[in-house]
Structure 1
Amino acid sequence: MGSNRYLLGAVSAIALVGFAAPAMAQETSAGELITNRVTVDFRVGNVQQTAVEDSDTFVVDRKIDVVVAAVGASPNVSSGENQIVREFSVTNLSNATVGYQLTFQSTGDYVPENAVIFIDANSNGSFDAGEEVTFLDALAQDETVNVLVQFDVPADTPNGDTVNIILVANAYEANDPGSEIVASTGPDDPTTVQTVLADGIGVAGIDAEYAGDHADAHAVTINAAAMTVEKFSTVVWDPVNLTVDPKAIPGARVQYCIAVTNAAGAATATGVTVNDDLPVQVTFYPDAYGTTGDVVIDGTLSGGVCSGGTEVDGYTAADTTVNELLSDIPGGTTRTLYFTVEIK
């Protein structure tokens, strides 16, 4: 536990990182004595008498209140993206110094991986060894500290899936991660500091009203490509029938059509590379398109047949692999690659 505690009272180069002083009037601190004195003056027979006096003293009780708030925007992320960071503030609205246990939770469509809570001591925006924190030792009255949560998105998380990244702060006695603060029971004792839990609800189902804890969440939605690939073959020529109903006989030429589709509403796919290893029964047929076009990329698909696109040169009959980069594919778009082989 020691390595995950943050000593808020320490005055050092890192102790003040992430702190803000909220603009609010400080409430009367727990433990202060409030004394009210009354004096009664009176006369008898128009003669001033000695005044009578009395006083009443009681101790101010402890009100425990904490607010966790999501800080900043929460932009969409990519499927499989790592080291995503979201920021939260923890404000001690209690009228006393309080320690806070910090925990991470999540709800939604996917389960974040490798989540860690930390204070960004070197202000580089990401988690570094030694920055993890699970307990704020002593947050002063009306003091705020900003903490961050870093997590990874699992690979192949579907487009549109959303998760709530939740930070929970639960009140503990200052500098004592083993003593959770609970509400005092029974009637008010004017001579003893008693405790009232005054927190509200932050995230339904996660924290509770008047329970000494509070939570807030960042919603994180996935932008992912939803890619599929189809492959078609069409006999375009044979040495007997030529182009009239050609058949797949030795010496025939076959066009392979590869169609890559990104589903509607999906994120744009970039770096789309098609790699096709030719079967041993065929050889690559160069210069099949235009004058010297060996492969055609970024074409269209209709009825299992590719057409249009941009010609690519540079292949020979000795090549056994076709490897080409397609243009970016937005959601709802299909791009093709096609080439011709000859049956041995």
Structure 2
Amino acid sequence: MGHQGQDSTQYEQRIVLPGCGEMTGKVQIKIELSHFAEKEQDMKLKKTMSMMKTKNQTTNLHSKPTQKGVTMNIKRLLVAMIAMLFAVSATFAAGTSAGTVITNIAYGNYTDVNDFAMPQVQSEETTTTVAQAAGVVVSATENALSMTGVGSVYYTVTVTNNGNGTDNFVLTDVVTYVPGGDSEYTATMFVDANGNGSYDGGEAITETGSLVADGTFTFMVWVDANPNPSGASDLDVITVDVTATTSVPGSTVADSETLTTTVNIPFITLSKSVSVVGGGQPVPGATLEYTIVVTNAGSGNSPSVTVNDPLAAALTYANVYAVTGDVTSAAFSQEGNIIYFALGALGAGQSATVTFQATIN
């Protein structure tokens, strides 16, 4: 019967690997029928030839239609499997580790003019080393906070290495604020080594250190207004741009997260007026009633508000006062000619009215 039946086909696939550009590979599918399968086809062929001879018909001894049909069905199945293989390879190609060596050898099969199989041939081996492709993502647990009063806030930031190799990311922060002015807001990046949730001296950082592919590095950012608290204003907006930049030579890959802090400071205003009790003239012996309106015009709450009023030498406190408005408790005290009203807490937008009387000496 001669050599076993065989068929082969080449298929071309283009693949793009990070740092390697486009690569073209040819896959040759070689299909060989087993000895058993060929023997079965020969038996079917002999049976067919016998039937044809009975009818005084002739046939081409080199024709094997049944074998060809089986071969084509197997070929279609393998083509589908190869296509699926390349599809899966393409899905994960971007994650191939830096330094991975890819080798490839092409094989060829052919026959002579008499359709006899010749020895298989092969190409030289090609080698490709996957280059490092840097990648980084910077994210914050919360990227917008409020600073209540003149103080500080803390953010938690995570750097993720989504490149394909180990990297050391350089960390920088840029602080800006509006409307600007004399305030000296600062930002400090640090690792909370003792876990107390606040900055301690010596914990500041400027890089992540060695970070493996898919690894993460978490740190904190302390935004502070304490260097010059008198320069802070209500509703100041502080932005801190935290950036992580790759250390891979020749690469400038970086990512940033913007942290936005709004300053909520209470702003107390006082408005004072006076009138003569009973409506008469302000003559000696007349009683004057003073009204002081206390308003928190800021966006932050004040936990403690106290009003004091030094009386002129021509006045004597008449031991009459009242406090109304958005206060739950108030206390009065006097030291010499100065009277004090402790109003307690006054929230943003709240107000209280203090009235007291004094007699003209």
Q: TM-score, normalised by structure 1?
A: 0.67
Asked if 1:117 is matched to 2:143, the reply is no
1:321 is matched with which residue?
Answer: 338
For residues 174-189 of structure 1, what are the structure 2 equivalents within 5 Å?
181-183=249-251
Structural RMSD (CA):
2.9
Structure with bigger RCO (C-alpha 8 Å, 6+ apart): 1
Are the equivalent residues in 1 in contact too, given 2:265–2:299 (CA < 8 A)?
yes
Give the conservation status (yes or no) of the 8 Å contact 2:107–2:120.
Answer: no
Tell me the alpha carbon deviations over residues 62-109 of structure 1, each in whole angstroms, 9 at most, x when there is no partner: 111111112136332223123x10111111112121111111113442
Against the structure 1 CA distance between its residues 234 and 312, is the aligned structure 2 distance closer, same or farther, given a 3 Å change threshold?
farther
Q: 1:151-184: per-residue Cα shift (whole Å, max 9, x none)? A: 21344644433222221111125xxxxxxx324x
Over 3 Å counting, the alpha-carbon distance change for 1:68 and 1:112 in structure 2 is farther
1:179-224 CA-to-partner distances (Å, cap 9, x unmatched) read xx324xxxxxxxxxxxxxxxxxxxxxxxxxxx32210112222223
* Aligned equivalents of 1:259, 1:326: Cα separation in 2: 12
Cα shift at 1:279: 2.3
Q: Which residue of 1 aligns with 2:246?
A: 171
Higher Cα radius of gyration: 2
Alignment pair present for 1:145 and 2:217: yes
Task: For structure 2, list consecutive stretches of 5 or more residues without a partner in the other structure.
Answer: 1-91
The percentage of counterpart residues that share the same residue type is 27
User: Residue 162 of structure 1 corresponds to which residue in structure 2?
Assistant: 237
Hey, what's the Cα distance between the residues in 2 that align with 1:272 and 1:25? 65
Match of 1:280 in 2: 313
2:110 aligned to 14, 33, 42, which one? 42
User: Is the contact made by 2:175 and 2:186 (CA closer than 8 Å) also made in structure 1?
Assistant: no
The corresponding residue for 2:355 is 338
Distance 2:272 2:93 in 1: 70
Aligned to 1:78: 148
Aligned partner (choices 229, 233, 246) of residue 281 of structure 2: 246
Change (3 A) 1:314 1:74: closer
In structure 2, relative to structure 1, the CA distance for the partners of 1:162 and 1:328 (3 Å cut) is same
* Partner in structure 1 of residue 293 of structure 2: 259
* Alpha-carbon spacing, 1:279–1:299, altered in 2? closer, same or farther (3 Å): farther
- 1:113-154 deviations in Å (ceiling 9; x for gaps): 232100111111111122111122211111111111102134
1:112 and 1:42 map into 2 onto residues whose CA distance is: 80
Paired residue secondary structure (2:125): strand
Match of 2:70 in 1: none
Q: Are residues 311 and 68 of structure 1, via their aligned partners in 2, closer, same or farther at CA, if it must alter by over 3 Å?
A: closer
Q: Which amino acid aligns with 1:114?
A: T
Query: Against the structure 1 CA distance between its residues 98 and 90, is the aligned structure 2 distance closer, same or farther, given a 3 Å change threshold?
Result: same
Q: Which residue is equivalent to 2:131?
A: 61
Aligned equivalent of 1:133, options 194, 205, 211: 205
Secondary structure class of the residue paired with 1:285 = strand
With over 3 angstroms needed to count, the CA separation of the structure-2 counterparts of 1:50 and 1:331, relative to structure 1, is closer
Match of 1:219 in 2: 260
Contact 1:166 1:218 in 2 (8 A): yes
Which residue, out of 165, 174, 182, partners 1:105?
174
Q: 1:312 to 1:246 in 2, by over 3 A?
A: farther
Q: Is the CA contact (8 Å cut-off) linking 1:296 and 1:311 kept in structure 2?
A: no
Give the SS at the match of 1:233. strand
Q: Which residue of 2 aligns with 1:270?
A: 303
Cα contact 1:107–1:164 (8 A) shared by 2? yes
Equivalent AA in structure 1 for residue 238 of structure 2: V
Distance 1:251 1:235 in 2: 11
Query: 2:34 aligns to what?
Result: none
Counterparts of 1:28-39 in structure 2 under 5 Å?
Answer: 28-39=96-107
1:26 to 1:323, Cα distance in 2 relative to 1, 3 A? farther
Q: How far apart, in 2, do the equivalents of 1:229 and 1:313 lie?
A: 18
Q: 1:129 to 1:158 in 2, by over 3 A?
A: closer
Per-residue deviation, 1:25: 9.8
Q: Which runs of 5+ in 1 are unaligned?
A: 1-23, 174-180, 184-210, 237-242, 289-294, 301-308
